[in-house]
Amino acid sequence: MDQKTHHPADRGAGSGAIRCSRCGATAEGPTPPVTWTCSVENHRRHYFCENCSRDNIRSIEGRLDSSWW
């Protein structure tokens, strides 16, 4: 059989999986874990996993004291 299936473009590239924009880690979709961070850049959503979110937050809130890390 040579059936062609059309995938709706608005479903996104992955198959429901969410991918970290930084390290490439994946999580089960359709919604990211609460520990993940979503940021919108250039009208595109970027997800960051738990580890990368920490680094992100640390860089964003660079004034945070590192005593609790």
Does 18 bind Zn ion (CB under 5 A)? Our answer is: no
Cα 46 to the chain's mean position, in Å?
A: 5
Q: How far is the CB of 58 from Zn ion (least distance, A)?
A: 13
Does 25 bind Zn ion (CB under 5 A)? Our answer is: yes
User: Which position has the token pair 């390290």?
Assistant: 23
Q: Residue type for 5, please?
A: T
Which region among 3-11, 31-39, 41-49, 60-68 touches Zn ion (by CB under 5 A)? 41-49
Strand (E) or helix (H) holding 58 = helix 50-60
* Residues of the shown chain interacting with Zn ion in the complex, contacts defined by CB under 5 A: 20, 22-23, 25, 49, 52
